[in-house]
Amino acid sequence: MVENRPWLTVFSHLVLILGIGVVVLPLWVTLVSSTHAGEDLLRSPIPMWFGNQMFENYSQMLSSGMKHVSGQPLTGMMLNSLIMALSIAIGKIAISLIAAFAICYFRFPFRMTCFWLIFITLMLPVEVRILPTYEVIANVFTPLTKLLALLGYEGTDVVIAGFSIDLDVSMLDSYAGLTLPLIASATATFLFRQFFLTVPDELTEAARIDGAGPMKFFRDILLPLSRTNIAALFVILFIFGWNQYLWPLLVTTDPSYATVVMGIQRMVNVADIEPQWNLVMAASMLAMLPPVAIVIGMQRLFVKGLVETEK
Amino acid sequence: MANLQISGVEKVYPNGFKAIHGIDLKVEDGEFIVLVGPSGCGKSTLLRMIAGLETVTGGTIQIGDRVVNDLEPADRDIAMVFQNYALYPHMSVYQNMSYGLRNRGFPKAAIEERVQKAASILQLDGLLDRRPRQLSGGQRQRVAMGRAIVREPAAFLFDEPLSNLDAKLRVQMRVEIKQLQRRLGTTSVYVTHDQIEAMTMADRLVVMNAGVAEQIGTPIDLYEKPSSVFVGGFIGSPAMNFMPGQVEADGRHLTLADGSRLVLPADGRTVEPGRSVTIGVRPEHLMPSSDTDSALKFEIVLVEHLGADTLLYGLASAVQGAGEGGLLTVRMSGHHVMPAGTVIPLVADPSHLHLFDVATGRRI
Amino acid sequence: MIKRVTFRHKWLPYALLAPQLLITLIFFIWPASQALYQSVLQQDAFGLRTAFVGLDNFAYLFSDPIYLESFDVTIVFSVAVALLSLSFALMLAVMADRIIKGATTYKTLLIWPYAVAPAIAGVLWYFMFNPAVGINAWILRTVFGYDWNHTLNGTDALLLIVIAAAWKQISYNFLFFLAGLQAIPRSLIEAAAIDGASPFKRFWTIIFPLLSPTTFFLVVVNIVYAFFDTFGTIHATTRGGPAGATNTLVYKVFNDGFIGLDLGGSAAQSVVLMVIVVTLTVVQFRYIERRVEY
Ligand SMILES: Nc1ncnc2c1ncn2[C@@H]1O[C@H](COP(=O)(O)OP(=O)(O)O)[C@@H](O)[C@H]1O
Ligand SMILES: [Mg+2]
């Protein structure tokens, strides 16, 4: 502190406490509401202190879900979310690591072309290419069959050396469809590239003299050195994956593939009647829990990941 | 153990810059060779070509009886110590030292034995489980050495390994490295820009300048018979004094710019009378004289007392021709008190005069 | 760009790049080029024939009052989100930078909303403002006599999603502002204090100007966020309504493409969005380049 002005310090604390009040209020309301019976939340003002239905609400949501809106248990949805978040985080990290390794540590024709192709993905979020991406998910070979059609070959079967290959593979309602299109990431590739550029060249040279080839160097030296970066990125990407909304909404119609974040809107947007807020709030708590726990538990890595992915 | 032969080696970098202009060097088995020269003269480039870290664009490099031009660094049977040590930060000292052996498929017991032996030679015994960042600069330096010696390679290559240490440690490690090399008898090529390090460590030195080897020889050779103005000026501290001069008609004296005269060495060399030369004379070979007529005039500007020696810095019109005069350095043994502004007449020891061609800078 | 020391290998680099490139080509480049391609085509009513129509789809788009309204909504929404979230976060960051005791606790309590999905954030505020039972709606009614109703009143609906979207972004802005504040050399502020500047004056004459690179960066990031990452917030709550009051460009492109199934029009909207992202990305990168080069 530059000078000692006690009232200023008190004022700072006061502002912060008020600010935190605003920020935390939704969480408080959600938590409290999720412990009440449905009827308690039909009268205004709703209670601001805990009720006694916590166990009932949460166990109902986890085991059977909300009855009148197709009633999927949240356990399954959360598992789907977990699968999606983990696949996206691990997949992105894996393919970005090796791509950045190739771009930094090899000279080869079309290196810059590859770099720019990856860079372009930065400018193409799902939101701007919804329909055509959906088409590709509906049939992964769409690009191929359309290109073949351009060359005068019609149909979705290709015969190669006597084998007929069916070029009609849909990824709708599948984990592959949920995750694959999201695991290409320019951001992660750039982060690793940035980090690799700071690894001293002498380390690579020492490893070469020690008899390590490219993959051995990658595994023995580069990967262990990237550990903190990987962990920090994992935190960010896990949250990114868990919180996906538009994409699961598009590619899944089968409720057994629904993710929890996307599933909640079905409980809110019910026709003509008030949603069962106690249950919706219990579901919201469950949907928030994993990513919030990760941010708070791994605060240092989270901040590092956030700051570094923005470079 | 092996010798190392470098024949007509050239290096052109991909950007077209020619860093090495053809160097020949034969390093005997067990010899300690130092490549020395100012920053950017190509020392590292040459060393890295020997290591296989840079491609060789001309000439051949031979280690033992194999031409290694196209071999991977790992297959050349060399070990290298880097300026920043290049220790693997995530590995323990033990893992750092054994990594190369593990990659070569050495049996565990053999690795253990070699690492332990190297550790005890380098006094690293208690530190094998530490990470590099838990070590002091000197200890890191030793681990880098250890990583090289466990391999028992045909040659050690050092690229300014002491530059990151403080002055005191540098002197200590310099002695240690030299002793270790004597003891192991491994052929070594050592790069430094520090001429004192070079002089004290080398069996033979290669003085490099702008991609060429100016002179190759023992430290004493280079000190006593520098082959060019560049070598004369680079080796020795404080640096050699240079001044223009002309051989007199008698062929036995030199006239300097200020009219003073120096006696030419009577060592049988003949220099044609009337020829203009560059005269080189080391600070310790200039001394006060009583003969005030022919001696060159030197006006003291600054005196440095080193204890054993006294260094006099001053101006002499002989150095830069007419006018103000250029800077000249004189070293006198013992302690002398002389106020700035004193003018003293100087003469040079004739047997230690060096004559160079004015145009080429080569020794005459 | 590339390491000085590289490995030599004929096919390995391509193999290492293959997964990323394959996914990029199939799920990014191809669909994007399809959008570009379809944006100049038009299908007849039965989807049987397509014809090249040049820029007609775009001309139609920009003469469509609903689209133009959606543009306005998006701009008002983005600016409001950025302003609200940035000013709130800046205030908290400045206070957090001042204090020594409890700073970590405050920080922890402020960063968690980052982890909340935009859709969930929407649902939480949707509930709090629920006209019948929401606690905020109740306060507005009983304390201020205002009858909040986001299902009927467009302004209320827009405000709702602005608040929900801004709330979620506070954490992010707070962290970057705090980092920016902590990077300002203490000596500068001390010098200003010695020069007799009051804390308030110091903020506006020294701290805020020095913070401007961070602020600029955050403005761009917040706009991008408001444009593209708030689909869930809207879809889970107001669904673009009432009467298009929260119908942002991204929500509209989804709605028209999937519900309306107008291929050419939807593709043209995608292309417009692409142009916006490219522009924002370029702006952001120019700024980052400056920052990296010092
Ligand atoms: N990869 C490179 N490409 C182009 N020029 C280089 C490269 N590496 C070094 N050089 C140039 O070659 C010359 C010699 O460099 P180096 O061998 O590192 O000098 P030093 O004697 O200081 O070790 C320098 O002028 C340097 O700029
Ligand atoms: Mg060098």
Looking at the fold, whether B250 and B209 belong to one and the same domain comes out as no
- B122 closest CA partner among B100, B141, B95: B141
The CA R_g of chain B, rounded to the nearest whole Å, is 25
Residues of C in contact with A189 (CB under 8 A): 20
Residues of A in contact with C143 (CB under 8 A): none
CB contacts under 8 A, A 59-88 vs C, are none
Residue B322 has a pLDDT of 46
| pTM for the structure as a whole | 0.87
Q: Which residue type sits at B106?
A: F
Cα torsion A263, A248, C120, C156: sign: negative
Q: Is pLDDT at B266 greater than 50 in this prediction?
A: yes
Q: Give the structural domain span for B109.
A: 4-234
Select from B73, B87, B90 the Cβ nearest to the Cβ of A209: B73
Choice between A261 and C264, residue whose per-residue pLDDT is larger: A261
Q: Residue B241: CB within 6 Å of ligand 1? A: no
Q: Is pLDDT at C293 greater than 60 in this prediction?
A: no
Looking at the fold, whether B332 and B219 belong to one and the same domain comes out as no
Question: Is residue B58 a contact partner of residue B11, using CB atoms and an 8 Å limit?
Answer: yes
Q: Is pLDDT at C292 greater than 50 in this prediction?
A: no
Distance CA C264, CA A212 (A): 54
Q: State pLDDT tens for residues C19-70.
A: 999 999 988 888 888 888 888 887 766 666 777 887 888 888 889 899 999 9
Q: Is A104 on the interface with B (CB under 8 A)?
A: no
Ligand 1 atom at minimum distance from B48 CA = 17
Residue A160 has a pLDDT of 64
What's the mean pLDDT when you consider all of chain C? 87
pLDDT band at A159 (very low <50, low <70, confident <90, very high): low
Question: Is residue B147 a contact partner of residue B115, using CB atoms and an 8 Å limit?
Answer: no
Distance CA B163, CA A296 (A): 45
Domain count, chain C: 1
Looking at the fold, whether B129 and B29 belong to one and the same domain comes out as yes
Terminal Cα distance for chain A, rounded: 30
A224 to chain C, minimum CA–CA distance in Å? Answer: 18
CA distances from B86 to A67, A217, B133, C99 (A): 63, 14, 12, 42
Select from C14, C118, C124 the Cβ nearest to the Cβ of A245: C118
The CA R_g of chain A, rounded to the nearest whole Å, is 25
Domain boundary among B198, B213, B234: B234
Is the Cβ pair C30, A262 closer than 8 Å? no
C195 to chain A, minimum CA–CA distance in Å? Answer: 12
Looking at the fold, whether B274 and B202 belong to one and the same domain comes out as no
**Residue B363: inside a domain, yes or no?**
no
Q: Is A68 on the interface with B (CB under 8 A)?
A: no
Domain boundary among B182, B200, B234: B234
How much distance in Å is there from the Cα of B364 to the middle of ligand 1? 32
Q: Is C31 on the interface with A (CB under 8 A)?
A: yes
Is the Cβ pair A210, B72 closer than 8 Å? no
Residue A267 has a pLDDT of 84
Per the structure block, which two tokens stand in for C164? 């929900």
**Residue B46: inside a domain, yes or no?**
yes
Question: Is residue B191 a contact partner of residue B160, using CB atoms and an 8 Å limit?
Answer: yes
Sheet architecture: strand order including B326-333: B286-288, B343-348, B296-305, B309-316, B326-333
Q: Is A296 on the interface with C (CB under 8 A)?
A: yes
Residue A2 has a pLDDT of 56
Q: Is A310 on the interface with C (CB under 8 A)?
A: yes
Looking at the fold, whether B59 and B130 belong to one and the same domain comes out as yes
The percent of residues above 90 in pLDDT, for chain B, comes to 57
Q: Is pLDDT at A260 greater than 60 in this prediction?
A: yes
Distance CA C98, CA A13 (A): 9
Looking at the fold, whether B228 and B245 belong to one and the same domain comes out as no
**Residue B362: inside a domain, yes or no?**
no
Residues of A in contact with B52 (CB under 8 A): 208-209
Q: State pLDDT tens for residues A12-50.
A: 899 999 999 999 999 999 998 988 888 888 877 888 888
Select from A41, A131, A311 the Cβ nearest to the Cβ of C267: A131
Q: Is pLDDT at C255 greater than 90 in this prediction?
A: no
SS3 A304: helix
CB contacts under 8 A, C 248-287 vs A, are 250, 253-254, 257-258, 263, 266-267, 270, 273-274, 277-278, 281
CA distances from B108 to A216, B113, B145, B152 (A): 19, 9, 21, 16
- Indicate the Cα dihedral angle A23, A29, A30, A33, nearest 10°: 180
Estimate the crossing angle of helix A130-138 against helix A142-150, to 10 degrees: 90
Touching partners of A (3+ C-beta pairs < 8 Å): B, C
Q: Is pLDDT at B21 greater than 90 in this prediction?
A: yes
Categorise residue B30: left if φ over 0, alpha if ψ from -120 to 50, beta otherwise. left
For the segment A205-224, the average pLDDT, to the nearest whole number, is: 94
Q: Is pLDDT at A274 greater than 70 in this prediction?
A: yes
Question: Is residue A92 a contact partner of residue A230, using CB atoms and an 8 Å limit?
Answer: no
A to B CB pairs, distance under 8 Å: 58
Instruction: Give the domain CATH number at C75.
Output: 1.10.3720.10
For the segment C266-270, the average pLDDT, to the nearest whole number, is: 86
Is the Cβ pair B90, A225 closer than 8 Å? yes
Distance CA B154, CA B71 (A): 15
Looking at the fold, whether B230 and B248 belong to one and the same domain comes out as no
**Residue B306: inside a domain, yes or no?**
yes
CA distances from B256 to B279, B321, B364 (A): 9, 8, 17
Looking at the fold, whether B48 and B131 belong to one and the same domain comes out as yes
Q: Calculate the CA B351 to chain-centre distance.
A: 24
Domain count, chain B: 2
Ligand 1 atom at minimum distance from B45 CA = 17
Minimal-distance CA residue of chain A relative to B147 = A210
Domain boundary among B182, B211, B234: B234
Q: Is C53 on the interface with A (CB under 8 A)?
A: no
Q: State pLDDT tens for residues C146-167.
A: 889 988 999 999 999 999 999 9
Distance CA C232, CA C144 (A): 30
Structural domains in chain A? 10-288+299-307 (1.10.3720.10)
Residues of B in contact with A208 (CB under 8 A): 52-53, 72-74
Looking at the fold, whether B283 and B319 belong to one and the same domain comes out as yes
Estimate the crossing angle of helix C118-128 against helix C154-182, to 10 degrees: 120
Q: Give the structural domain span for C91.
A: 65-293
Question: Is residue B331 a contact partner of residue B348, using CB atoms and an 8 Å limit?
Answer: no
For the segment B38-67, the average pLDDT, to the nearest whole number, is: 92
Q: Is A216 on the interface with B (CB under 8 A)?
A: yes
**Residue B364: inside a domain, yes or no?**
no
Looking at the fold, whether B253 and B217 belong to one and the same domain comes out as no
Question: Is residue A148 a contact partner of residue A157, using CB atoms and an 8 Å limit?
Answer: no
Is the Cβ pair C31, A136 closer than 8 Å? yes
**Residue C255: inside a domain, yes or no?**
yes
**Residue C260: inside a domain, yes or no?**
yes
Choice between A141 and B266, residue whose per-residue pLDDT is larger: A141
Residues of A in contact with C130 (CB under 8 A): 277
Q: Is A273 on the interface with C (CB under 8 A)?
A: no
User: Hey, how many other C-beta atoms are within 10 angstroms of the C-beta on B45?
Assistant: 20
**Residue C26: inside a domain, yes or no?**
no
**Residue B282: inside a domain, yes or no?**
yes
Quote the Cα angle for C24-C27-C29, to 5°.
Answer: 60
**Residue C167: inside a domain, yes or no?**
yes
ipTM: 0.90
Looking at the fold, whether B175 and B81 belong to one and the same domain comes out as yes
Quote the Cα angle for B42-B43-B49, to 5°.
Answer: 90
Q: Is pLDDT at C7 greater than 80 in this prediction?
A: yes
Looking at the fold, whether B226 and B246 belong to one and the same domain comes out as no
Terminal Cα distance for chain C, rounded: 18
Residues of A in contact with B84 (CB under 8 A): 200, 202
A108 to chain B, minimum CA–CA distance in Å? Answer: 15
Q: State pLDDT tens for residues C64-116.
A: 899 999 999 999 999 999 999 999 999 999 999 888 788 888 888 999 999 99
Quote the Cα angle for B134-B138-B141, to 5°.
Answer: 90
Distance CA C144, CA B251 (A): 114
**Residue C73: inside a domain, yes or no?**
yes
Residue C294 has a pLDDT of 31
